[in-house]
Chains A and B, each alone.
Chain A
Amino acid sequence: MTPEETKAFEEKIHAFVGRENGPPKRGNDDVNEAMIRHWAEVMGDELGTYTDAEYAAGTGKGGLIAPPAMLQAWSMEGYPMAENPAQDIQRQLHNVFDAHGFTGVLGTNTSTEFFRDLKPGDQVTAHCIIDTISEQKATGRGIGYFIETLTTYTDQNGEEVGKQVFRVLKFIPADSNDAADSSTEDDSPSVPTRITSPRGHDNSWWWKACDEGKILIQRCTSCQTLRHPPRPMCGECQSIEWDSIESTLDGEVYSFTTLHYPKIPGYQYPNTVGVIQLSEGTRLVANIVDIDYETIKIGMKVKGSVEQVDEKTMLPVFRPE
């Protein structure tokens, strides 16, 4: 968008700020024991104050209450939204964003305050407004705007029982092309796995052995020098003849580091990686596992094994001896 187009667009979206999302929405069901129990079953709520009326009467609560996090559920629209999502003001606002390429949507924050416990028989009504729209932001997902809605919940007496701020990001997806590509090449997506090495003439033999549980070290057959990572020629004697030996995976930590951020799909964090000095003399970069990273020391003896680290990947991992 040119600066002028951006300005016109921002005027359009800011016109939504302060508007009610629609008329106040009274929940179809009053607060009731059955829906509370269904909720408590799924969420693993173990308090008798939610599900055991007799017990609840004897507690400080004086009777059954609803789990507080249920507040929003009481005024949800329910089944009709599966087929026909409500065409409320918020939807219209999102349509304006969509039409300008901001098709991505992501809930980023929610904050709910509870002014009193809700009891069976309470009637909840939601009053929602478009509260704020941020300036344009560059986010990890792409360029976009944060929209905050503010919902006030009242009871049968018109008293406020809670308040919820909900923040979503509407953004221009940074990699919309990538998503399209991956959906065509693989129609049964699964849990992400580690990024594997490309395999070519000079390295595929090493990775194939790794797949089979062996870590090999390339050896010059002319001068016997070991080398890793593999290369087609010996830097000592320029021979292109080589074979390999299998490493015992005895070694020590030459250096290491622990990654916290960014978190890449397929990896677990914190993720500790070491440069391992193998007893054969070459070094190998691999994960160090089963140890608190703060206790790792350079020089520490480690022992490696080749393990399946996810659905698709075999890798060497090292543990303290």
Chain B
Amino acid sequence: MITETISFASVNVGDKLPGKEVPITSALIVGGALASRDFTSVHHDKKVAQANGLPDVFMNILTSNGLMGSYVTNWTGPDATVKKIALKLGAPNLPGFVMTLVGEIKAKDDSTGIVDIEVIGENNVWGMHMAGTVQVQLPQ
């Protein structure tokens, strides 16, 4: 369990978060869809996904959001507060791919204690899956 929280004073613009590799499996895609209560067929039924032009079931947006969130809060620790997650969606994540998450601090607001972290998730086959910014308020 992660118990330390990163303080606002200890981070600087340009700091990079440790990268993380997320193996994309059918279990992750289907599990993420169910945990987010998203029963849209393309996220659990390969035949329907194929009828929609993709080779296999693909990750839903809520899971992408969730992975971006967990990537950041696992780094900040428990006493940070997420203010905003904004992301642009790219190529789908499919079983068998590996998505690499990287993050970099792009801005720091002294008056609010909020830092902007740019997060990019790229899979090894089709490239950019998601790119966005997580705004998180850190304790002083």
Contact = CB atoms under 8 A, between A and B. Distances in A.
Direct contact of A and B (CB under 8 A): yes
Interface of A: 35, 38-49, 52, 55-56, 59-61, 67-70, 72-73, 76-82, 85, 106-114, 117, 179, 183, 189-192, 263, 265-266, 268-269
B1 to A, nearest CB: 5
Interface in B30-49: 31-32, 34-41, 44
B50 A265 contact: no
Interface of B: 1-3, 5, 22, 28, 31-32, 34-41, 44, 50-51, 53-56, 61-63, 65-70, 73-74, 77-79, 81-89, 91, 94, 96-97, 124-128, 139
A70 B89 contact: no
Contact of B1 (A44, A47, A60, A266): A47
Contacts of A80: 39
Contacts of B3: 48, 55
Contact of A70 (B36, B39, B87, B97): B36
Given A38-B35, A107-B89, A109-B87, 9 more contacts: A43-B67, A60-B139, A67-B70, A73-B36, A76-B37, A82-B40, A108-B89, A112-B84, A189-B54
B69 A42 contact: no
B125 A265 contact: yes
B79 A61 contact: yes
A47 B73 contact: yes
B69 A117 contact: no
Main secondary structure of the interface of A (DSSP, over half): mixed
B127 A269 contact: yes
Contacts of B54: 189
Given A76-B37, A110-B86, A48 B128 contact: no
Given A81-B40, A110-B87, A192-B125, A35 B35 contact: yes
A111 B61 CA distance: 11
B86 A191 contact: no
9 contacts: A42-B32, A52-B1, A70-B36, A107-B89, A112-B65, A114-B84, A183-B50, A191-B55, A263-B126
Contacts of B31: 41-42
Nearest to A36: B35
Nearest to B123: A268
Q: Which 6 interchain pairs have the tightest Cβ spacing?
A: A189-B55, A69-B69, A76-B37, A111-B86, A263-B127, A82-B39
B83 A113 contact: yes
Given A42-B66, A67-B69, A76-B38, A48 B89 contact: no
Contact of B74 (A35, A46, A68): A46
A47 B71 CA distance: 11
Contacts of B124: 268
A43 B63 contact: yes
Contacts of B83: 113-114
Contact of B85 (A42, A52, A68, A77): A68
Contacts of B85: 68-69, 110-112
B2 A69 contact: no
B2 A46 contact: yes
Q: Which of A47, A52, A191, A192 has the most CB of B within 10 A?
A: A47
A47 B77 contact: yes
A45 B74 contact: yes
Contacts of A48: 1-3, 78
A219 B45 CA distance: 54
Contact of B53 (A70, A110, A179): A179
A61 B78 contact: yes
Given A60-B79, A191-B96, A69 B35 contact: no
Nearest to B71: A44
B66 A67 contact: yes
A82 B30 CA distance: 13
B66 A110 contact: no
A70 B62 CA distance: 8
A258 to B, nearest CB: 14
Contacts of B70: 40, 43-46, 67, 69
